Amino acid sequence: MTKMARVKLQDVAKLAGVSVTTVSRVLNNRGYLSKQTINKVHQAMEELNYRPNAVARQLYKQRTDLVGLVFPTVNNPFFGQLEAELETRLYELGYRVVMGNSQNNPGKEEQYLQLLFNGQIDGLIVGAHNEGIEAYHNTNLPIVSIERIVSKQIPVVAADNYQGGCLATQRLLDAGCQHIIHTNYPATLATPNQERRRGYEELMTKYGREKLTYEISFDLPDDQKAAVFDRLFAEHPECDGIFADNDTNARLAINAAQKAGKRVPEDVKVIGYDGASSTRLLFPDLTTIQQPIPEMAQAAVDLLQKRLAGQAVESVTLPVKLIPGLTG
């Protein structure tokens, strides 16, 4: 069986009656060309069933049209929706995405950074929680972070976590809660999440209430997180309000409260955080602080485009809102 010869750029140029340089300019949209010339080249490509060499075009343009997304996991409703929103917006701009779930694996995150260093992807949007990655501090490459403080050189897109902490705590205080407990990441983790804690603590101090935060690592398995909430109610049976750092933990708090013989919201009021679409669909009764996930994705893509163009950028903070429900 005779192997079909690969159609070359020269074949297209010959059929179209133009130079190879002209065909290359049409393919890469470079310089002025008449509509008639462009049509002749495209017609020749169609007749010959010519497919441009993607690698060669990438070398010519000095770009790959690939963007890496590195987040902890798509199993979490917030990150799952965020990655979907990012992929949609990047696709509309002509980018394909390389997704990496790097939960508790700094080595995996460093591999994506290496792809960027090697020119195999054009940029990175990151939100993983791994610490101590030095490469972030030594580069001005196109990287944007979402809800994570990576380094001074890398802009952060975040919701107004302080506002969210205040909204949630004030809601519980107004509902008459006397013993409100907050859950959050360990204080050593550099993330805007810590601003939720600051909002909570400032309001508790203002109202003369004891402030108490149970630290729960994002990477803990769900059964270990559930054990923390069981311990919380065992150690503080007086707890009548919980401000959870995310909606998943809010669900675990409700489960633990009911296990301890408490009614929600009669005995314990619970407020979550994130308000992702899937959570709202599956748990519409949850009172939560909703982050503007679509707007956060758009802001991150906008910042990345500016960084790719060599423009100066600044971090972006977007407002949150309280979604009232039946739990708090």
pLDDT tens digits along 301-320: 999 999 988 898 999 999 99
pLDDT of the residue at 241: 98
For helices 247-259 and 222-235, angle between their N-to-C axes, nearest 10 degrees: 50
Helix axes 247-259, 77-92, angle to 10 degrees: 160
Q: How far is CA 167 from CA 62, 204, 207, 256, in A?
A: 47, 12, 14, 24
Weakest mean pLDDT among 52-56, 121-125, 176-180, 202-206: 52-56
| CATH class of the domain at 161-291 | alpha beta
Give all strands of the β-sheet with 66-71 in edge-to-edge order: 96-101, 66-71, 123-126, 143-146, 156-159, 316-318
CA-based nearest residue to 177, from 249, 104, 261, 267: 267
- Closest of 269, 268, 291, 264 to residue 279, by C-alpha: 291
Q: What is the pLDDT of residue 63?
A: 65
Confidence of residue 131 (pLDDT cuts 50, 70, 90): low
Q: Domain limits of the chain?
A: 9-61, 66-158+294-318, 161-291
Domain covering 66-158+294-318 assigned CATH 3.40.50.2300 in the classification: yes
The alpha carbon of 5 is separated from its chain's Cα centroid by a whole number of angstroms, namely 45
| Residue whose C-alpha is closest to residue 165's, from 324, 295, 289, 310 | 289
Tell me the one-letter amino acid at 160: D
- Residue 152: pLDDT above 80? yes
- Is 271 within 8 Å of 243 (Cβ atoms)? yes
- Whether 290 and 165 have beta carbons less than 8 Å apart is answered as no
At residue 28, the pLDDT reads 67
Residue 35 has pLDDT above 70, yes or no: yes
Is the pLDDT at 71 greater than 70? The verdict is yes
Q: How distant, in Å, are the alpha carbons of 164, 210, 319 from that of 159?
A: 8, 26, 6
Mean pLDDT (the chain) is 87
CA–centroid distance for 100 within its chain: 11
Q: What is the pTM of this model?
A: 0.79
Give per-residue pLDDT as tens, 201-259. 999 999 999 999 999 998 888 999 999 999 999 999 999 999 999 999 999 999 999 99
What b-and-e string marks burial along 63-99, b requiring 16 or more CB atoms within 10 Å of the CB? Answer: ebebbbbbbbebebbbbbbbbebbbebbeeeebebee
CATH class of the domain at 9-61? mainly alpha
pLDDT at 136: 72
